[in-house]
Amino acid sequence: MPISFAFRPRIADALRGYDRERFLRDLGAGATVGIVALPLAMAFAIASGLTPQAGLWTAIIAGLLIALLGGSHVQIGGPAGAFIVIVYGIVERYGVANLLIATAGAGVLLFAMGLLRLGRLVRYVPVSIVIGFTNGIALLIAASQIKDWLGLDIDKMPADFFAQLRTIGANIGSFNPYAFGLGTACFVGLMLWPRLWAARARLQGSLDLPGLQRASEVGARIPGPIVALVTLTALASFLQFPVETIGSRFGDIPRGMPAFALPEFSWETVKMLFSPMLTIAALGAIESLLCARVADQVSGLPRHDPNQELMAQGVANFVVPFFGGMPATGTIARTVTNVRAGGTTPVAGVAHAITLALIVLLAAPLALLVPLSVLAGILFFVAWNMGEWREFAHLRRHPNDYRLKLLGTFALTVVFDLTVAVQVGLLAACLLFIHKMSSLFGVERSDGENGAMRFSLYGSLFFGATAKIDPILDEVERGPEQPQVVLDALHLVHLDSSGLDTLRQLLKAVQQKGGTLRLENLHEQPRELIEHAGFAEELGVTG
């Protein structure tokens, strides 16, 4: 069946009946998310081995494109914590220029996935694998921030997890208590911030003080990362703490939009970078579509179009490298913030990008004062929320194959990298699925009329279950001449080409002894395969 090209961004439907009230709600939500995105975009870029402006302009450009072209009402796109480990490894191994090429190539792959309508396939990735690599990435993000959290004097951190731990141990003598105090205060403050306002609101509600209760509601909506960033940066600057800042490490942040530049391109480079491209595309697809599903559940708005979302992600990832950006995807924290702040259409995503652009263009010098240990605290908080740590405690409730996939993917992510983890995890999932499906196929012997050998087939006769036909072959070969074999397919729900080939071998063995093979009670799928393959004529008679 030919593939029909369908490119219809969700904004085209969301703006029907759009009014001033919805615009103001989207504008307020977008401004809130833009403020939340500021520290996260810088932190993700710095942790990935890039400059802070790479993260900021990725959030602006990719966020704008994903909002305008995406398949979700409320999805917010930009740099994500899940990419930190991947990007850092690519930068360490191939360099920043090749990261740009790999990101653009991943954009092409993502667009192709959406064009070929592969968006729903992401749902078939087992949840155990998703949890395994998500927890692994969260651990790696936390490990990558120990250096700045402790204020260690290390020029460059290795990409490998265990090498990072060795490097940290070798340089622990340069521990900076000021950096440690700021990072710890940031993390603890972010953990307590929502609980503090929730407790205060309950207390004031019980005291029947509506004014103070309203103030608590407003305070609870102020993003915790912004509060931590502003207060701790002001404290460190006022008291002149001897800590490393964005300015001391990276210099000035340019206020203007980065210039459009084409990275050097060759097919040899593309072939070398195919594995990183595949990793970025796979992670981007999984992350963005999982985020869109969460947004559907939280917002109650019409369900997203996964194929349109992948095409939007593809366009965004293809464009941002030309402005020095990094990989982008849907971001759960910012998307949920958008929904809770009142966003209902992609206009909120556009407002988020514009808000962030105005902050960068007008207030970039202020970002130079931000201590890197504060950003480390924010990323510790991101890693903590990112991981589903309770799943480790609940593993006893799950079967062995679930434990194997989750723990195996987690270990491979930490020890090797995400590419190896996902590949091995999916392979293990496929093998375990094949084993489980093969166990559902069965053959039952029963007495037939006039001495016929009668067998009932149950389940799916596919490549993983063909060995279960061997006992029939053995019985035919050991039995009398001119056997009459009947296969009752009343409970055979599926047959593939390997199963058909096995039936051909059985027919050959029966004919060599001068006997006959008959199939009875065939369902539609096995019958169509048998007829199209010409096996019906070989049998002579079908039931």
* CATH code at position 520: 3.30.750.24
Closest to 142 in 3D by CA, of 95, 194, 187: 187
Question: What is the pTM (predicted TM-score) of this model?
Answer: 0.78
Q: What's the helix, strand, coil split of the chain in %, to 5?
A: 70, 5, 25
Is residue 271 assigned to a domain?
yes
Q: Are residues 122 and 267 in the same domain?
A: yes
What are the backbone angles phi and psi of residue 387, rounded to the nearest 5°?
-80, 145
Q: How far apart are CA 289 and CA 329, in angstroms?
A: 9
Is residue 451 assigned to a domain?
yes
Is residue 229 assigned to a domain?
yes
Q: Are residues 272 and 130 in the same domain?
A: yes
Q: How far apart are CA 5 and CA 114, in angstroms?
A: 10
Q: Are residues 330 and 451 in the same domain?
A: no
CB half-sphere exposure, 543, CA atoms < 13 A: 12
Task: Please report the pLDDT score of residue 542 as a whole number.
Answer: 41
Q: What's the CA dihedral at 527, 533, 534, 538 to 10 degrees?
A: -80
Eight-state DSSP code of residue 399: -
Q: Are residues 345 and 454 in the same domain?
A: no
- Three-point CA angle 522, 523, 529, nearest 5°: 85
Which residue among 322, 351, 386 closes a domain? 386
**In one letter, which amino acid is 209?**
L
Do the Cβ atoms of 348 and 33 come closer than 8 Å? yes
Q: How far apart are CA 472 and CA 505, in angstroms?
A: 11
Task: Please report the pLDDT score of residue 200 as a whole number.
Answer: 60
Which residue among 318, 351, 386 closes a domain? 386
Q: Are residues 233 and 306 in the same domain?
A: yes
Place of tokens 């199963």: 499
Task: Please report the pLDDT score of residue 141 as a whole number.
Answer: 87
Task: Please report the pLDDT score of residue 216 as a whole number.
Answer: 55
Q: Are residues 513 and 380 in the same domain?
A: no
**In one letter, which amino acid is 21?**
E
Hey, CA dihedral for 392, 381, 327, 67, is it positive or negative?
positive
Q: pLDDT per position in the chain (543 positions), as tens?
A: 445 567 889 999 888 888 888 899 999 889 989 988 888 999 999 999 999 999 999 999 999 999 999 999 999 999 998 898 889 989 988 999 999 999 999 999 999 999 999 888 777 778 888 888 889 888 988 998 999 999 999 888 887 889 999 999 999 999 999 999 999 999 999 898 877 766 665 655 555 555 555 555 555 567 788 888 889 999 999 999 999 999 898 887 777 788 888 877 788 888 889 989 998 998 899 889 888 888 888 888 889 999 999 999 999 999 999 999 999 999 888 898 888 888 999 999 999 999 999 988 888 788 889 999 999 999 899 889 888 899 998 898 888 888 988 998 899 888 887 667 767 877 887 888 888 888 889 999 887 777 789 999 999 999 889 999 999 999 988 888 989 999 999 999 999 999 999 999 999 999 999 999 999 999 999 999 999 998 988 887 444
DSSP per residue, 265-280: --HHHHHHTHHHHHHH
Query: Number of folded domains in the chain?
Result: 2
Is residue 211 assigned to a domain?
yes
Task: Please report the pLDDT score of residue 329 as a whole number.
Answer: 94
In what helix (H) or strand (E) does residue 316 lie, and over which residues does it extend?
helix 306-319
Is residue 14 assigned to a domain?
no
Is residue 365 assigned to a domain?
yes
Domain of 451 in residue numbering reads as: 440-539
Do the Cβ atoms of 228 and 192 come closer than 8 Å? no
Is residue 27 assigned to a domain?
no
In what helix (H) or strand (E) does residue 59 lie, and over which residues does it extend?
helix 52-69
Q: Are residues 357 and 491 in the same domain?
A: no
Which residue among 386, 418, 452 closes a domain? 386
Q: Are residues 235 and 333 in the same domain?
A: yes
Eight-state DSSP code of residue 50: S
Q: Are residues 160 and 275 in the same domain?
A: yes
Q: Are residues 510 and 364 in the same domain?
A: no
Q: Are residues 107 and 219 in the same domain?
A: yes
Is residue 356 assigned to a domain?
yes
Q: Are residues 341 and 479 in the same domain?
A: no
